[in-house]
């Protein structure tokens, strides 16, 4: 072994020196490590989620029958050959209705999360970058909102603007906004205090450039994870509103509405309520599992 220290030892050219583990090579083994580091449960959740997304985008691929076609002669048919999830009190195919409802449920979840993030982001980021007075004003406002349970906040919105799918999304969005506002404010405060923001300033960047090109992107970095975690919650809330008759209205094929519908027949035909309920759970569970996994991966990277 050469006894003189390589002059470039600090520059990484002698990575093969004994005792120095090689730096991880992302490109070559990245895919292999990704597969190996992902637990089987996450794969199952991802597969179910993919199925749900496909059903939402292309319901016709899975639809066997018209979800609205009434067939009174065939009402309350138990799950079996022609109807894998059975039929409801009007003889409508539960499987087709569940599939048809996927799109609306997922869309409601997405839209509600987007609205919540937008409102929360506006409040949180403004609070984080503003001075003491604006910050504490927004904080107090958010704390007042926190005093109400999220669902109650959503009910207030519905009480003001009436029932319907769009209102339901807005209502759930408003209900989740305080949580996002608080998280994004903390994140913003951290980013604003980071030395790289000052570095941008001392390179001669303007404040608006720093806001849009340094602060906002770095605050938004963990948002992807936040969104996947939030969608699950939003789906459950939106379904709850529909279940209460405040969101999607019958005969719409929406999981919460179907659940409410089937509740009356739970003793004679459990399947009418059970399958929409299972799908609500699946949607919430899979988005949360995948979101948690992404969160862990991202945190490990940072």
Partner 1 sequence: MTTPVQHPLLTIDNLNVSFSTPRGPVHVVRDLSLALAPGQALALVGESGSGKTVTARTLVGLNAPNARVTADRLDVLGQDATRLSERRWRALRGKDIGYVLQDALVSLDPLRTVGQEIDEALRAHGVRRAERQERIHAALRDAGIPDPEVRARQRSNELSGGLRQRALIAQATVLDPRLVIADEPTTALDATVQAQILDLLAGLKEQGRGLILISHDLAVVSRLADEIAVMQHGRIVESGRAAEVLGNPQHAYTRQLIDAVPSAAGRGTRLSSVPRVAVGTAPSRTSAFAAEAPALEARTLVKTYPAPDGARRTVVDHVSFTLQPGTTLGIVGESGSGKSTTARIALGLTEPDAGTVTLGGLSWMGHPDGPGIVTEAVRRPHRPDIQLVNQDPLSSFDPRFSVQRVLTDALDAGAVGSPHEREDRAAELLGQVGLPLDLIHRRPLTLSGGQRQRVAIARALALQPRVLLLDEPVSALDVSIQAQVLDLLADLQEQLHLSYLFISHDLGVIHHVADHVLVLKDGRVVESGDASTLFVAPTTAYTRALLDAVPAMPVRTSSAAGSTRTAHTSEGAA
Please state, in angstroms and as integers, the Cα–Cα distance from residue 131 to each residue in 136, 151, 195, 228, following that order: 9, 31, 19, 31
CB of 20 to partner 1, least distance (A): 6
For residues 190 to 229, the per-residue mask of contacts with partner 1, x marking binding by CB under 8 A and - elsewhere, is: ----xxx-xxxxxxxxxx------x--xx--x--------
Q: Does 302 bind partner 1 (CB under 8 A)?
A: yes
Q: Does 131 bind partner 1 (CB under 8 A)?
A: no
Of the two residues 72 and 204, which places its CB atom closer to partner 1 in the complex? 204
Contact 183, 201 (CB under 8 A): no
Of the two residues 11 and 60, which places its CB atom closer to partner 1 in the complex? 11
Of the two residues 18 and 72, which places its CB atom closer to partner 1 in the complex? 18
CB of 137 to partner 1, least distance (A): 22
Taking alpha carbons only, the member of 97, 100, 82, 87 closest to residue 269 is 87
User: Which pair of tokens denotes residue 225?
Assistant: 């994870």
Measured distance CA(116)–CA(77) in Å, rounded: 41
Contact range with partner 1 by CB under 8 A, out of 103-111, 115-123, 188-196, 228-236: 188-196
Contact range with partner 1 by CB under 8 A, out of 6-14, 44-52, 70-78, 290-298: 6-14
Q: Looking at residues 226 to 265 of the shown chain, list those that interact with partner 1 (rule: CB under 8 A).
A: none
Of the two residues 3 and 73, which places its CB atom closer to partner 1 in the complex? 3
Of the two residues 2 and 60, which places its CB atom closer to partner 1 in the complex? 2
Q: Which helix (H) or strand (E) holds 242?
A: helix 223-243
Measured distance CA(257)–CA(243) in Å, rounded: 5
Q: Looking at residues 22 to 51 of the shown chain, list those that interact with partner 1 (rule: CB under 8 A).
A: 22-24
CB of 23 to partner 1, least distance (A): 6
Measured distance CA(23)–CA(15) in Å, rounded: 8
Cα–chain center distance at 265: 32
CB of 3 to partner 1, least distance (A): 5
**Positive or negative torsion for Cα 280, 283, 289, 292:** negative
Measured distance CA(41)–CA(25) in Å, rounded: 27
CB of 226 to partner 1, least distance (A): 17
Q: How many C-beta atoms surround the C-beta of residue 27 within 10 A?
A: 6
Measured distance CA(238)–CA(171) in Å, rounded: 9
Q: Does 72 bind partner 1 (CB under 8 A)?
A: no
Residues that bind partner 1 (CB under 8 A): 1, 3-5, 7-8, 10-13, 17-24, 194-196, 198-207, 214, 217-218, 221, 302
């Amino acid at each position: 072994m050469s006894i003189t220290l390589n002059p470039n030892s600090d520059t990484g050219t002698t990575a093969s020196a004994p005792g120095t583990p090689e730096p991880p090579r992302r490109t070559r083994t990245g895919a292999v490590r990704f597969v190996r580091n992902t637990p089987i449960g996450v794969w199952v959740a991802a597969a179910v989620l993919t199925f749900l997304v496909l059903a939402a985008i292309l319901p016709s691929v899975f639809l066997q029958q018209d979800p609205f076609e009434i067939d009174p002669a065939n009402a309350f048919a138990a799950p079996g050959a022609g109807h894998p999830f059975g039929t409801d009190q009007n003889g409508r195919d539960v499987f087709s209705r569940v599939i048809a409802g996927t799109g609306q449920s997922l869309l409601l979840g997405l839209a509600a999360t987007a609205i919540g993030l937008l409102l929360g982001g506006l409040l949180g980021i403004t609070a984080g970058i503003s001075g003491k007075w604006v910050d504490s004003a927004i904080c107090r406002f958010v704390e007042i909102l926190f005093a109400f349970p999220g669902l109650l906040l959503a009910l207030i919105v519905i009480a003001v603007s009436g029932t319907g799918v769009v209102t339901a999304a807005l209502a759930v969005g408003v209900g989740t906004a305080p949580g996002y506002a608080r998280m994004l404010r903390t994140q913003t405060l951290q980013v604003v205090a980071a030395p790289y923001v000052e570095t941008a300033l001392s390179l001669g960047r303007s404040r608006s450039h720093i806001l849009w090109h340094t602060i906002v992107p770095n605050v938004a970095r963990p948002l992807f994870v936040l969104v996947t975690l939030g969608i699950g919650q939003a789906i459950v809330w939106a379904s709850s509103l529909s279940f209460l008759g405040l969101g999607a209205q019958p005969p719409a094929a929406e999981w919460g509405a179907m659940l409410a519908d089937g509740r009356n027949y739970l003793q004679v035909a459990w399947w009418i309520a059970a399958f929409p309920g299972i799908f609500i759970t699946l949607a919430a569970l899979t988005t949360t599992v995948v979101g948690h996994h992404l969160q862990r991966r991202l945190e490990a990277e940072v």
